[in-house]
Amino acid sequence: VRDLRLDIIGFGHVGRALARLLLSRCEDVPFKVVSLVTAHHGWWSDPSGIDLSKAVDMTELPSKGPPPKIADLPGNVLVELTTLDPRTGRPALDHIQDALRERKHVVTANKGPIAHHYPQLLGHAWVAGRQLRFEATVADCLPVFDLARAALPLAEIRRIRGIVSSTTNHVLSAAARGVPFAEALADAQRLGIAEADPANDLEGWDAAAKATILANVLLGARIGIDEVRRTAIDERTADEAARAARQGARLRPVITVERLPSRTRPHHLEGTRVRASFAAVRLDPLDPLFAVDGLSMALELETDLAGTVVVQLHDPHVDQVAYAVLTDLLEIAGWRSPV
Amino acid sequence: VRDLRLDIIGFGHVGRALARLLLSRCEDVPFKVVSLVTAHHGWWSDPSGIDLSKAVDMTELPSKGPPPKIADLPGNVLVELTTLDPRTGRPALDHIQDALRERKHVVTANKGPIAHHYPQLLGHAWVAGRQLRFEATVADCLPVFDLARAALPLAEIRRIRGIVSSTTNHVLSAAARGVPFAEALADAQRLGIAEADPANDLEGWDAAAKATILANVLLGARIGIDEVRRTAIDERTADEAARAARQGARLRPVITVERLPSRTRPHHLEGTRVRASFAAVRLDPLDPLFAVDGLSMALELETDLAGTVVVQLHDPHVDQVAYAVLTDLLEIAGWRSPV
């Protein structure tokens, strides 16, 4: 197992959950955290390793003033956990580029940079000879890229359907139980799932970013977020969800990405032709996505060789985001399961 | 990618599907088949590789008389695809032991040897310094062991529920649509899912073998098939399935394996304490296993770090068994996904 020294950027819910996870598994996972950097609550960096058990209880980290540049941090892996503007991917994008330039591996839980700049970032990682991993960006620790790598070798993914947008699924699931739209939305905000301005979720930008990642990474497309057709979820959709539930069906916020026939072998700069969308879809009880309720997430992958594989993560928590980051780190460390 | 020379034992539906798969992907997968051996339809062995495109069209292989011993076959990987007596695991068990003794890697689609002799076989493989892989034994290419290795590192699996017994799920799914028990069973036999004597499936021996594999491999137990509590599926169960369907529920044939609390750290020879069972269970529509209809299969893994992960394989075919064998071969060859 390779020796990892982590520069963690961002120390909010996910960063703290990761720190607790690393502390609880310090016998199995001898990774050393050498930097913790926040935008507004200070930073802490020490090449010999910082004391995580102290850090998790601090609201303010000891060093004040502008934090060192990524290049000057002592780690060999950047763990990018900042909050960001999902429409531009900044500042996470700059952090990732700076880290790869310094030949650090990168693990990110930020979907923005991957949704907007995957081909370029993959190129940077390739040139640096380092890994860029982002398992947490689509659906917490629901296995997506890990699954494709380990269980679907040589298989071509033809179509993906998924429920990966917690706020909208929470709202529509609540509507099915008779909870009013505004109340369900306020509840999602209280739970910390929805942002203060929920437009990003309700208008499908969050889902579109995830659909873009799936299309570009798993299907080899080269689309932008704008190319995902979005149908917003609103009060009317919630009414429809309540009606569907009375009839034994469910309305679920579903992203769909499908490969389109192309006459010629795709040029690698153009990528595979795909159609991608996000909308509330009525599902019957025998649909594999029917039971994906509340905060649960799922993906259905239609493939040539493996048939149709569905993966679901039941009712995840922020700890499952941290675990997804840990699986990426273990992969970079060359960790092999004993089984 | 390592050079693999395959000795394939058994050339029925799965073996032929594997041969077609290898032929269709010969550019990506440069494995050489050097032996094909059947019990009653001859054999063909050639260290320079046999012509698979000819073999797939033969009902009788060219060489007659007793086939060479495993030790004398020219391959470095044994692919064990014989039909077998699931209660004893023979003759597959002998083939696997002979191959490991000769320091050949082994891939098997036979659940018997793994259900009955996993600890010993693992020991043999370890001594030989070779791999023993059996992804196809539980649920075709539904990712089970691949998933645990790739997506659940360090996680402890606490409980497994699964639908992995096609005959019984086919019968109960048909009953839910109003098809009589005997007719659904005959249909399963016609489709080649159920054996001529369906007792093995209906009494839960098939499911118990799979529960045993899951318990011993994924939970570190050391149970025998007899320790799985079985409740047989019969005409009365089918009536119950029809009644449940009229009420919007489903009766599904579910295996359950759960870790029991143990006061002491388990001794590795004793293994983890578990409780395992097979029975028809009534499920409501929001249960992740509700929609697993007909020939579909699924597993729900409750873990400490990853939460609850569900994987489903929708309506698989014999090609998906062959693909599971291929994923094992790719793993042995050290094949890495480009993503």
Query: What type of residue is A227?
Result: E
With contacts defined as CB-CB under 8 Å, which chain A residues touch B309?
Answer: 141-143, 311-314
* Smallest Cα distance from B183 to chain A, Å: 22
**Which of B265, B312, B307 lies closest to B291 in space, CA to CA?**
B312
State the number of CA atoms in the 13 A half-sphere of B86 facing the CB. Answer: 23
Task: Write out chain A residues lying below 8 Å of B299, CB-based.
Answer: none
Helix and strand numbers, DSSP H then E, in chain A: 12, 12
Amino acid in the structure at residue B14: V
Q: Which residue of A has its CA nearest to B324?
A: A306
Count of beta carbons in the 10 Å neighbourhood of residue A194: 23
Which of B142, B148, B310 has the CB atom closest to A312's CB atom? B310
pLDDT for the residue A187: 93
Nearest to A309 among B143, B218, B300 (CB): B143
ipTM of the complex: 0.95
B123 Cβ contact partners less than 8 Å away, ≥ 6 residues apart: none
- A158 contact residues in B (CB cutoff 8 A): none
Q: Which of A145, A311, A320 is the closest to B339 by Cβ?
A: A145
Contacts of A150 in chain B (CB under 8 A): 143, 146-147, 149-151, 337
CB spacing of A311 vs B307 below 8 angstroms: no
SS3 content of chain B, % helix, strand, coil (to 5): 35, 20, 40
Residues of chain A with pLDDT under 50: none
Residue in A25, A298, A339 closest to B148 by CB: A339
Distance from CA of B244 to the nearest CA of A (A): 14
CA of A331, closest CA in chain B: separation in Å?
9
User: What pLDDT, on a 0 to 100 scale, did the predictor assign at position B220?
Assistant: 94
Name the residue among B88, B91, B85 with its Cα closest to residue B39.
B91
Chain A CA closest to residue B152 = A327
Q: Which of A286, A300, A306 sits opposite B320 (nearest CB)?
A: A306
- Closest by Cβ to A306, choosing from B285, B305, B323: B323
Residues 6+ apart with CB under 8 A from B51: none
Which one of B22, B323, B331, B336 would you mutate to disrupt binding with A, by most A Cβ within 10 Å of its Cβ? B323
Please tell me the predicted confidence (pLDDT) of residue A181.
Answer: 96
State both tokens at A277: 């969308």
The shortest CB-CB distance from A327 to any of B146, B153, B218 is to B153
Contact present, A300 and A161 (Cβ < 8 Å): yes
The answer to whether the CB atoms of A153 and B337 lie below 8 A apart is: yes
Structure tokens at B20: 């077609």
Angle between helices A111-128 and A92-101 (to 10 degrees): 10
Work out the angle at residue B109's Cα, subtended by the Cα atoms of residues B103 and B111, and round it to the nearest 5 degrees: 100
- Any residues with CB less than 8 A from the CB of A225 and at least 6 apart, and which? A87, A115, A116, A205, A208, A209, A212
Are A309 and B313 an interchain contact pair (Cβ–Cβ within 8 Å)?
A: yes
User: In B, which residues are within 8 Å of A307 by CB distance?
Assistant: 141, 313-317, 319-320
- Within 8 A of B143 by CB-CB distance, chain A residues are 147, 150-151, 309
> How far B68 CA sits from the closest chain A CA (Å)?
32
Residue A223 has what pLDDT? 96
A149–B339 C-beta distance less than 8 A: yes
Q: What are the tens digits of pLDDT across the range A300-315?
A: 999 999 999 999 999 9
DSSP string, A212-235: HHHHHHHS-B---GGGSEE----H
From the list A145, A150, A330, which residue is nearest B146 (CB)? A150
Distances B221 to B92, B153, B270, B308 between C-alpha atoms, Å: 23, 18, 7, 20
Contact A312 B312 (CB under 8 A): yes
R_g of chain A, CA atoms, integer Å: 20
CA distance A176 to chain B (A): 12
Cβ <8 Å between B306 and A28:
no
Q: How many residues does chain B have?
A: 339
Among candidates B155, B288, B317 on the partner chain, residue whose Cβ is nearest the Cβ of A312: B288
Count H helices and E strands in chain B, helices first: 12, 12
- Which residue is closest to A338 within chain B, CA to CA? B149
Q: Which of B145, B149, B290 sits opposite A285 (nearest CB)?
A: B290
**From the CA of A71, how many Å to the nearest CA of chain B?**
27
Number of Cβ pairs < 8 A linking chain A and chain B? 161
Task: State the alpha helices, DSSP H only, in chain A.
Answer: 13-24, 52-55, 92-101, 111-128, 136-139, 145-151, 166-176, 181-190, 199-202, 205-218, 235-246, 318-332
Cβ distance B307 to A316 less than 8 Å, yes or no, reads yes
CB-based burial label for B31 (10 Å; 0-12, 13-18, 19+) = buried
Count of C-beta atoms within a 10 Å radius of residue B183: 12
Q: Do A149 and B337 touch (CB under 8 A)?
A: yes
Q: Is B43 left (phi over 0), alpha (psi -120 to 50) or beta?
A: beta
Does the beta-carbon distance from B154 to A28 stay under 8 Å? yes
B9-26 residue pLDDT tens: 999 999 999 999 999 998
pLDDT of residue B269: 64
- Residue from A111, A57, A62, A68 nearest A88 by CA: A111
- Using CA atoms, how far apart are residues A254 and A320, in angstroms rounded to an integer? 21
Name every chain A residue with its beta carbon within 8 A of the beta carbon of B337. 148-150, 153
DSSP secondary structure letter of residue A70: G
pLDDT along chain B (339 residues), means of 10: 91 95 91 95 96 96 94 97 72 95 97 94 96 96 94 96 96 97 94 84 96 97 97 97 98 98 66 96 98 97 97 94 96 82
pLDDT at B213 (0 to 100): 98
B310 and A306: CB-CB below 8 Å? no
> A287 vs B291: CB contact, 8 Å cut-off?
yes
State the pTM of this model: 0.95
Identify the pLDDT of residue A87: 63
Instruction: Compare all CA atoms of chain B with the CA of A173 and give the residue at the minimum distance.
Output: B286
Q: Which residue of B has its CA nearest to A293?
A: B286
Residues of chain A with C-beta less than 8 angstroms from the C-beta of B319: 305, 307
